[in-house]
Amino acid sequence: MSNYPFWLGGVAASMAACCTHPLDLTKVRMQTLPQSLASKSPSTIAILRHSIAESGVRSLYTGLTASLLRQMSYSLVRLGSYEEIKYALSSDGPPSTTKLLAAAALAGGLGGIAGNPADILLVRMTSDSIRPPEKRYGYRNAFEGLVRLVKDEGIPGLTRGLVPNVASQVGSYDFFKLMLLSYPLPLSNYQMRDNLLCHFTASTLAGTVATTICSPADVLKSRLMSLSGNVNPVQVVRDSLRTEGPGFLFKGWTPAFIRLVPNTILMFVFFEQLKKQWRLLTAS
């Protein structure tokens, strides 16, 4: 077992989310714009300006309770189980890249199951203001939203959008970190050490990979989660392709990239520092 608490990753992710939530809100709003506005493709800045004009700077933190609930479920399980799985695979030496990817896929699946309800609430709370008044959910906080979600849609409603709710940045982070620590940088003899610079570089590379690979699934996930009732994912894709073209699969890529890179950096930097502080605390 690892020498720090299972929940430490959730705390690190929550700290990062508090810093980057406005960009998460912007991404979701761009991904779930009503069909009448989707073709206009407003920019990241336009969405941010509209949000501030709507009800002030505080509106940029709409849905923060859902974001924190997501981090303390999805990210907690994803990071915690990944570390445990990776530790188990390291019994006979450093795990191979294939083992790391397998561990990340399993941990991502477990995290997706655990955090899916909170993800639904996050999508609905952050996109509520761009919906017609009669179709708004009006959740005051994540806990009220969770109760109403179960009451209105039953237990199956908690699994809406589960399949595309997959992320890859954990495995990418460890892969890039191992590469940076194992080999000198190209065109130089500089060998990185396990410090903040290494964590920053690995997180930036991981965030870039995750943003690009996960964008289509992320858009589909947001659109499915923003809807209620019986929804056919294939029909959602067909309607979106007909009205917006294939480019809809990358709606919100810019704020997703702007948000995911610093979020991934902050999450793993916080995670690494929390682990170090925990080891110092338990050693004293």
CA 76 – CA 87 distance, rounded (Å): 16
Contact predicate 60/105, CB 8 Å = no
Q: What is the pLDDT of residues 53-101, one digit of tens each?
A: 877 888 889 999 999 999 999 889 988 888 788 888 877 777 777 777 7
**Mean local confidence (pLDDT), 105-132:** 87
Closest residue by Cα to residue 40 from 247, 188, 220:
247
The whole-model pTM stands at 0.75
pLDDT for the residue 249: 81
Place of tokens 């890529």: 253
- Give phi and psi for 242, each to the nearest 5: -65, -40
pLDDT at 169 over 60: no
Q: In this prediction, what percent of the chain has a pLDDT beyond 90?
A: 18
Could you read off the pLDDT of 179-229 as tens digits, one per residue?
A: 788 777 776 677 788 777 887 788 778 777 777 777 887 888 888 888 777
Tokens representing 176 are 């890039």
Cα separation, 183 vs 91, in Å, equals: 23
CA quadruple 207, 23, 231, 245: dihedral sign: negative
What pLDDT was estimated at residue 1?
Answer: 55
Q: Which residues of 214-233 are buried (b: 16+ CB within 10 A; e: fewer)?
A: bbbbbbbbbbbbbeeeeeee
Interatomic CA distance for residues 100 and 88, integer angstroms: 11
Residue 189 CB neighbour total at 10 angstroms: 6
Q: Region 247-258: what's the mean pLDDT?
A: 80
Domains defined for the chain, CATH in brackets: 8-283 (1.50.40.10)
